């Protein structure tokens, strides 16, 4: 008539068969049971109480499962937040390294520009020294010519 559940987890349902004369409820006299049906009513009530207890147990099991699921989700949330923080730190590190590389490239460019300036200054000074050297050579040649002409006049 009513179903009774065997295990707490999923709920396999089996029909419960009424017991013959072992219940105290069925000790009623046949005249009273048939006319009023109190024995059957008490049996139904007992089965309903069992069903309500089982439903209560199912609700408790569902709450326990939900609690475990909430705990698992919270743990996963914490793990994901930790991973996100680590990834943000990695991203910050990469950004910092990129800034460092850009600074190094900028410094290298400044040094390269300074080296070009030094090269230009060296070339300019070399040209000036070459000019001074020519002037000294020219003056030395003049002095020699003057000496030679003086020597040739004296002789």
Give domain status of residue 133, yes or no: no
Q: What is the pLDDT of residue 155?
A: 66
Average pLDDT over residues 67-89: 97
- For the chain, percent of residues with pLDDT exceeding 90: 63
Residues facing 15 on adjacent strands:
3
pLDDT at 31: 47
Mean pLDDT within 71-87: 97
Nearest to 61 by CA among 9, 23, 18: 9
For the chain, the domain total comes to 1
Angle at 89 between CA 85 and CA 82, to 5 degrees: 20
Is residue 136 situated within a structural domain? no
Residue 34's pLDDT band (cuts 50, 70, 90): low
In-domain check, residue 124: no
Residue 61 lies in a domain: yes
State which residues form the domain around 24.
Answer: 3-106
In a domain, 146, yes or no: no
Q: Does the residue 138 lie in any domain?
A: no
pLDDT band at 17 (very low <50, low <70, confident <90, very high): very low
Q: How far apart are the C-alpha atoms of 55 and 62, rounded to whole Å?
A: 10
Q: How far apart are CA 16 and CA 44, in angstroms?
A: 11
pLDDT at 154: 74
pTM for the predicted model, two decimal places: 0.46
pLDDT of residue 153: 77
Residue 26: name the closest of 10, 9, 11, 43 by CA: 43
C-alpha 91/C-alpha 99 separation (Å) is 12
In a domain, 122, yes or no: no
Q: Which residue has the tokens 């390269």?
A: 112
């Amino acid at each position: 008539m009513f179903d009774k559940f065997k295990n707490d987890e999923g709920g396999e349902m089996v029909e419960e068969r009424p017991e013959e004369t072992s219940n105290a409820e069925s000790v009623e006299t046949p005249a009273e049971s048939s006319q009023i049906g109190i024995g059957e009513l008490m049996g139904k009530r007992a089965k309903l109480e069992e069903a309500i207890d089982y439903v209560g147990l199912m609700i408790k099991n569902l709450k326990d499962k939900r609690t475990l699921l909430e705990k698992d989700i919270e743990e996963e949330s914490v793990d994901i937040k930790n991973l996100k923080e680590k990834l943000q730190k990695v991203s910050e590190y990469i950004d910092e390294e990129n800034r460092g590389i850009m600074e190094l490239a900028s410094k290298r460019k400044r040094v390269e520009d300074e080296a070009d300036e030094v090269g230009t200054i060296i070339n300019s000074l070399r040209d000036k020294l070459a000019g001074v050297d020519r002037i000294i050579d020219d003056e030395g040649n003049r002095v020699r010519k003057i000496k030679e002409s003086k020597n040739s006049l004296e002789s």
